[in-house]
A = this chain, B = another copy of it.
Amino acid sequence: MATAQPTTDRLAEKHRSTLDQALDTIRTRAYWSPHPEHPKAYGADGSLDAAAGLTAYQSLLNGRFELDQPGTDGWTGGEVSPYGPELGVEYPHADLDVLLPAMRAGMGAWRDAGAETRALVCLEILARISARTHEFAHAVMHTSGQAFMMAFQAGGPHAQDRGLEAVAYAYAEQTRTPAGRAGWSKPQGKRDPLELSKEFTPVGRGVALVIGCNTFPTWNGYPGLFASLATGNPVLVKPHPRAVLPLALTVRVAREVLAETGFDPNLVALAVERPGEGIAKTLAVRPEVRIIDYTGSTAFGDWLEANARQAQVYTEKAGVNTVVVDSTDDYRGMLGNLAFSLSLYSGQMCTTPQNLLIPRDGIATDQGPKSYDEVVADLAAAVDGLLGDDARANGLLGALVNPDVKARLEAAADLGEVALASREVANPEFPDAVVRTPVIVKLDGSKPEAQDAYFSECFGPVSFAVAVDSTADALELLRRTVREKGAMTVGAYTTSEEVERAVEEVCLEEAAQLSLNLTGGVYVNQTAAFSDFHGSGGNPAANAALCDGAFVSNRFRVVEVRRQA
């Protein structure tokens, strides 16, 4: 045991009940979170309040981000906030031939500590991150372009929830076999029984690589990071070059906690690339790397799955998310819910709906029949109303994360008839921020040239109101889209039990997560840790779901030692 017993006891006293609650919640799937969503909940018990968080963030800017990792051979960095300012932070650049072997050195003690201590150390890391949620919020905001409130919640408590959920799954999975020695006695009739003593040890696979994304560096990064660490693996974090700071902060906290609890801090390390270096490809095929978690483009995800053969590869790639609009008994609620889903973070979520499939003959609603044109016009008006006030628009939209999104948005207007034009929103606090409202484009689903548009992912604030012949036609298109392009989310609105069963059947057969008739304050693009699965792992959008048994069970192996008793 590398940890002194008092350290373990102290961690257990502090975190065991949280772990137990998480273990319970992943079974009941009820609502629960130990991480407050409200910014004002922070400031007591050593956590940073709003002002202290901002100061802490600002003190990171325009300087070197020290980590004291082995093999640092230079400094690199060049993040520019989607809100305008350069961050001016430089990070250590790693000589992988030094860093990777150093990361393995602490594996034995980390393994010997056992599943519970590993879980408790992970919970201490999460607790310290939680205490600095205000600081992380600014780091996430100025790398992802999310508005502050979203960066705070999705980048803070929601990301921490997803990390804790992964720890709970990892702990549950590793403790399926008894800790310590178990007796085994096989009767032999009149002869003495055969007796063995058996000991089962979960062992990590090797270095786990987390390849971060630009839009949700913590939310998408934490599940893999904590699942791998909790199952005994060292974790090397390779952030997206535009979103390093939130993960660099995470690595620093993890290293501090590991060192304080008696483990090797090099069990968690950071790999930042020089411009154009492309180290993800190099890292992904290193023999030391045995696990990879990746969020990003389909092309690179597919490359990883095909080429990183020495590793377990978990990918979240792109998909084409669809909402089937058949009928509704809450027309206003449906429009408001959809308008919010399309607007949140300028549609830059992997879960944002893209294709809205609407029968060309219109739909039945509680406000009477509505034609296709009416539905689209009313939705456009709902988005317009939601974003009419610039302050509220800024608070919902955030900034476009990179120039590619802006280019796609601008090109979208040429794809069909524009039902709602995108407009620029000025941001008084950050005049250089590129803030845009979503565009809604009308397409005729039966036209082959329209299919080129709606049958591929157009990541960003672009959605297509696709006119289809019927709901049956919509379901067939939904099925084909999920099967061939993948989907992180599917939505549907219907008052018909038959249609409900039919859309469920498509989602069950094609393994897509379905939200039905959302008209209130829950949106198709949001999932809650401990309860909702993010993706299914069963369609081309992702080969894994956050979070389930399959996400953790192959990150370690159980080695059995059996002895003559």
Interface residues of A in 372-394 (CB under 8 A from B): none
Besides A30-B184, A514-B560, A522-B562, 14 new A-B residue pairs in contact (Cβ under 8 A), listed by A number: A26-B176, A28-B178, A29-B177, A29-B182, A30-B183, A107-B509, A176-B548, A203-B509, A504-B561, A507-B559, A520-B564, A532-B560, A538-B557, A550-B553
**Residue of A29, A305, A517, A520 contacting most chain B CB atoms (<10 Å):** A29
User: Could you give, for residues 415-455 of chain A, a 1 whenever the CB lies within 8 Å of some chain B CB and a 0 otherwise?
Assistant: 00000000000000000000000000000000000000000
Q: With a CB–CB cut-off of 8 A, which chain B residues contact A121?
A: none
With A536-B558, A553-B549, A557-B536 already in contact, the answer to whether A184 and B564 are too (CB < 8 A) is no
Q: With a CB–CB cut-off of 8 A, which chain B residues contact A564?
A: 516-520, 522
A residues with a Cβ closer than 8 A to B are 26-31, 107-108, 111, 173, 176-178, 182-188, 194, 196, 198, 200-201, 203, 205, 305-306, 309, 504-505, 507-509, 511-522, 528, 531-533, 536-538, 545, 548-550, 553-554, 557-564
Q: With a CB–CB cut-off of 8 A, which chain B residues contact A531?
A: 184, 198
Q: With a CB–CB cut-off of 8 A, which chain B residues contact A557?
A: 511, 536-538, 545
**C-alpha gap A504/B561 in the complex (Å):** 7
| In the complex, the 4 A-B pairs of residues with the closest C-beta atoms, listed nearest first | A538-B557, A550-B553, A549-B553, A550-B554
Q: With a CB–CB cut-off of 8 A, which chain B residues contact A182?
A: 28-30
Majority SS at the chain A contact face: mixed
Considering the complex, give the chain B residue whose CB is closest to the CB of A174: B549
Would you give the shortest CB distance from A168 to chain B, in whole angstroms? Answer: 11
With A29-B198, A561-B514, A564-B519 already in contact, the answer to whether A184 and B549 are too (CB < 8 A) is no
**Residue of A519, A533, A557 contacting most chain B CB atoms (<10 Å):** A557
Q: With a CB–CB cut-off of 8 A, which chain B residues contact A537?
A: 554, 557
Contact at A549–B176, with CB atoms within 8 Å? yes
Contact at B194–A560, with CB atoms within 8 Å? no
Copies in the complex: 2
User: Contact partner of A516 among B188, B559, B561, CB < 8 A?
Assistant: B561
With A31-B185, A309-B305 already in contact, the answer to whether A560 and B513 are too (CB < 8 A) is yes
User: Contact partner of A562 among B27, B203, B512, B516, CB < 8 A?
Assistant: B516
Contact at B545–A558, with CB atoms within 8 Å? yes
Q: With a CB–CB cut-off of 8 A, which chain B residues contact A516?
A: 561-564
Would you give the shortest CB distance from A556 to chain B, in whole angstroms? Answer: 8
Q: With a CB–CB cut-off of 8 A, which chain B residues contact A178?
A: 27-29
Would you give the shortest CB distance from A496 to chain B, in whole angstroms? Answer: 14
Contact at A108–B28, with CB atoms within 8 Å? no
Contact at B201–A508, with CB atoms within 8 Å? yes
Contact at B507–A562, with CB atoms within 8 Å? no
Would you give the shortest CB distance from A340 to chain B, in whole angstroms? Answer: 13
Name 27 A/B residue pairs within 8 A (Cβ), A-sorted.
A27-B176, A27-B178, A29-B200, A30-B184, A176-B549, A184-B528, A184-B531, A188-B521, A194-B521, A203-B508, A203-B511, A205-B511, A305-B309, A507-B561, A511-B559, A513-B560, A514-B560, A514-B561, A516-B562, A516-B564, A520-B564, A522-B562, A533-B558, A536-B557, A536-B559, A538-B557, A545-B558
Q: With a CB–CB cut-off of 8 A, which chain B residues contact A201?
A: 508
User: Contact partner of A309 among B198, B306, B509, B549, CB < 8 A?
Assistant: B306
Contact at B31–A517, with CB atoms within 8 Å? no
Would you give the shortest CB distance from A372 to chain B, in whole angstroms? Answer: 24
Contact at A517–B563, with CB atoms within 8 Å? yes
**C-alpha gap A519/B196 in the complex (Å):** 11
